[in-house]
Amino acid sequence: MSQKIQKFICILFLFLLSNSIIVLGKKEGQPKVELQVNWSQYLSKHDLVWNKIPKDYFEGAFVGNGILGTIVFQDDSLANTLRFEIGRTDVYDHRSLETPVAYGRERLPIGQLLLTPKGKIVSSKIRTDLWNAEIRGEIITSEGQLNFRCFVPSAHELIVLQVKSTGQENKAKILFRPQEADSPRFIVKKPLGGEKGFTYVHNPPFEIFQAGEIHGATQKLLMGDDYATAWVDKKTGVSERTILVTVANRWAKHRLAANGSAQDAIKTIQNGLKIPIATLEKTHRAWWHQYYPASFVSIPDPRLESFYWIQLYKLGSATHPNRPVIDLMGPWFKPTAWPCLWMNLNVQLTYYTFGLTNHTLMEDNLYQLIDRHTDQLIANVPPDFQKDCAAIRNPVGYDELNAPLFLSDDPKNDQEINIIVLPWLMQMYYLHNRRTMDDIRLREKIYPMMRRAFQVYVRILHQESDGKYHIPYTFSDEYGNAKETSLNIALARWGFKTLLSIADRLKIKDSNIPIWKDRLENMADYSTNENGIMIGKDVPLAKPHRHYSHMLAIFPLYEMNVDKDRDRIPMMRKSVQHFTDLDGDNCMYKFSGASSLWASLGDGDKALTWLNRSL
């Protein structure tokens, strides 16, 4: 599980009801609500500012459009050099399903654009302009000065870098350094001796090409496909130059075996050279200038308000409508042990934010993925479950939901059953639908897949001598296995209730209705002790646990909540308090999770305390 989750859903629960600036009026007899904000001035207060070159990826300035991106920081190989790490969100390997996903269906590196001044860097300033979604920088050297601007046009597969110089800095060097297409997990694990019991097979080396003034590199893959980077350094005057960079990936574009991506990359650069920068800028800014107002919130704490808008900028850079689902990198590559889509927490925390900030088209990328691959979700379960069930294990690669898992309806089974992913995704899909109120999609897409996802619980629940239905031996994410896991009780109860609600509203006559009602009325309750909710039967929360999977009933499912379960409020508070008292296994999403849990219980002060700790 990644520790780099930075999209904190709790912010929205804390602040979406904060004051906003509105004007009430009338036009042609209709009420009017108008937001009056000088957006350029307002967001400039929250711009990211550096007084020196960021030293590494974690400090870097970033831009992106959901498909291409770059993050800017000091290069760790070449002295006196600014590095633009290039990323493309669909550049994934795609080896056989038998290969471990992090070594066979994972994000791959592309390379770095490098800017090396003629003189020694004396000082520098960099600013991310949130409103216009661009980076501007000033570098003073012993030989003159460089000023640069970088943005990724929202509607084009280009990275634009404009550089102006004084003195001898018109001789500054710009070059692209390709990187071999090794698994990011392999890159991280290699210094540690590699992955135990696994030998990684490298992709072929990259190949350099040139087409007139356009330079580039093609990266072939073991499966026979390729992707390619192309770039051009166009001098527009003695002291001005414009650099265009693109990455093309035929396999991802067509989902068919294909090479020749270099031809596409060259064509993209050629077409880009024909478009005035002012035109690229205009369409780019138009997208961003309609994006921010949809999410307006005024927060009295300047630090938290800045954090909110920076996260909105990050999300808008990480995706646009009809773009790939955000993985653990977004469009900014970095070597990592988690180079795929982790759907047992990371994707969920990222995508909760979009709907709450009025960006349903952007969150729909995730639900389109589910709709495209219902066949894979069904094929993931064992053959004897496929007639009525669907599920997925974790993680997955690009534009796929291939992740078979073990299921058993044997009450005596002692092999791990890990089923968190699809039920949780369907909870999110349902919330998305509550915002869009698309009843056709609810009937034809959401309800059938929800039925399959929660039919897994119908199949594995077993009735014991006490007359109750019990969850068998299952996994509680990132903690361990137990019978009657609180995680799965919460998901099952939420699912059965929601299916009944949908069937009632849409007048669906489903043969499972009496079964869902029976399971709800007779399901064994959560296991609890003096510290609140347990992981499961006979398994207390006895060690630090960053995932908080055992408390999904409180947040985000609200299956147990302060409105309908007032008698359980003391137990819920003890559960969250015990979770936060166990110091260790610390990371940002543990702290943001604690904030969300306290907010769910109505304790704003503690929610704010943990939100601040996450920063």
The secondary structure of 269-338, three-state, reads HHHHHHCCHHHHHHHHHHHHHHHHHHHCCCCCCHHHHHHHHHHHHHHHHHCCCCCCCCCCCCCCCCCCCC
User: Using one digit for the tens of pLDDT, what is the confidence trace for 469-514?
Assistant: 999 999 999 999 999 999 999 999 999 999 999 999 999 999 999 9
Residue 234 CA to residue 240 CA, distance in Å, equals 9
Which amino acid belongs to residue 214? I
pLDDT on residue 473:
98
The number of beta carbons lying within 10 Å of the beta carbon of residue 529 is: 12
| Contact yes or no for 131/151 (Cβ under 8 A) | no
DSSP 478: T
User: Using one digit for the tens of pLDDT, what is the confidence trace for 337-356?
Assistant: 999 999 999 999 999 999 99
State both tokens at 498: 């929601």
pLDDT on residue 69:
99
Q: Where are the alpha helices (DSSP H) in 85-194?
A: 101-104, 184-189
For the cut 80, the answer to whether the pLDDT of residue 281 exceeds it is yes
C-alpha closest to that of 112 among 60, 158, 160, 75: 75
User: Using one digit for the tens of pLDDT, what is the confidence trace for 70-92?
Assistant: 999 999 999 999 999 999 999 99
User: Using one digit for the tens of pLDDT, what is the confidence trace for 396-449?
Assistant: 999 999 999 999 999 999 999 999 999 999 999 999 999 999 999 999 999 999
**pLDDT level of residue 614 (50, 70, 90 thresholds):** confident
CA angle 600, 601, 607 (to 5 degrees): 70
pLDDT on residue 31:
59
User: Using one digit for the tens of pLDDT, what is the confidence trace for 167-209?
Assistant: 999 999 999 999 999 999 999 999 999 998 899 999 999 999 9
Strands (E), 76-172: 82-88, 111-116, 121-129, 134-141, 144-151, 159-167
Helix (H) or strand (E) holding 153: none
Mean pLDDT for 141-161 is: 99
Mean pLDDT for 23-49 is: 76
Among the listed ranges 31-40, 123-132, 297-306, which one has the minimum average pLDDT value? 31-40
C-alpha closest to that of 62 among 52, 48, 51, 74: 48
Q: Where are the alpha helices (DSSP H) in 373-522?
A: 374-379, 421-436, 439-441, 447-460, 486-506, 513-522
For the cut 70, the answer to whether the pLDDT of residue 122 exceeds it is yes
**Cis bond before residue 556 (omega within 30° of 0):** yes
Q: Domains of the chain (ranges plus CATH)? A: 49-295 (2.70.98.50), 341-614 (1.50.10.10)
DSSP 567: G
**pLDDT level of residue 258 (50, 70, 90 thresholds):** confident
**Neighbouring residues of 148: CB distance < 8 A, sequence distance ≥ 6:** 115, 135, 136, 137, 139, 161, 162, 163, 164
SS3 for 246? strand
**Cis bond before residue 31 (omega within 30° of 0):** no
CA angle 513, 519, 523 (to 5 degrees): 165
For the cut 50, the answer to whether the pLDDT of residue 8 exceeds it is no
Residue 485 CA to residue 498 CA, distance in Å, equals 20
Looking only at the bridges linking them, the beta strands covering 144-151 and 159-167 are: antiparallel
**Neighbouring residues of 581: CB distance < 8 A, sequence distance ≥ 6:** none
Say which residue the tokens 């804390």 belong to: 14
**pLDDT level of residue 13 (50, 70, 90 thresholds):** very low
**Neighbouring residues of 268: CB distance < 8 A, sequence distance ≥ 6:** 157, 158, 230, 246, 248
For the cut 60, the answer to whether the pLDDT of residue 19 exceeds it is no
C-alpha closest to that of 104 among 180, 182, 179, 178: 182
For the cut 70, the answer to whether the pLDDT of residue 277 exceeds it is yes
For helices 447-460 and 513-522, give the axis angle rounded to 10 degrees. Answer: 50
Mean pLDDT for 319-325 is: 98
For the cut 50, the answer to whether the pLDDT of residue 296 exceeds it is yes
Q: Global pTM? A: 0.93
Radius of gyration of the chain (CA): 26
Count Cα neighbours of 254 within 13 Å in the Cβ-side half-sphere.
14
pLDDT on residue 25:
38
pLDDT on residue 1:
42
Q: Helix, strand, coil shares of the chain as percentages rounded to 5?
A: 40, 20, 40
Mean pLDDT for 599-609 is: 97
What whole-number percentage of the chain has pLDDT above 70? 95
**Neighbouring residues of 207: CB distance < 8 A, sequence distance ≥ 6:** 217, 218, 219, 220
| Contact yes or no for 146/164 (Cβ under 8 A) | yes
Mean pLDDT for 514-541 is: 98
The number of beta carbons lying within 10 Å of the beta carbon of residue 211 is: 16
Mean pLDDT for 542-568 is: 97
| Contact yes or no for 185/314 (Cβ under 8 A) | no
pLDDT on residue 257:
78
Handedness of CA 78, 79, 81, 82 (dihedral sign): positive
**pLDDT level of residue 5 (50, 70, 90 thresholds):** very low
Residue 316 CA to residue 65 CA, distance in Å, equals 7
Residue 420 CA to residue 400 CA, distance in Å, equals 17
Residue 328 CA to residue 192 CA, distance in Å, equals 22
For the cut 90, the answer to whether the pLDDT of residue 519 exceeds it is yes
Burial 396-406 (b: 16+ CB within 10 A, else e): bbbbbbbbebe
Residue 366 CA to residue 346 CA, distance in Å, equals 13
DSSP 195: S
**pLDDT level of residue 29 (50, 70, 90 thresholds):** low
| Contact yes or no for 244/269 (Cβ under 8 A) | yes
What is the average pLDDT value for the chain, to the nearest integer?
94
C-alpha closest to that of 5 among 597, 548, 589: 589
Residue 353 CA to residue 592 CA, distance in Å, equals 13
State both tokens at 396: 């997955």
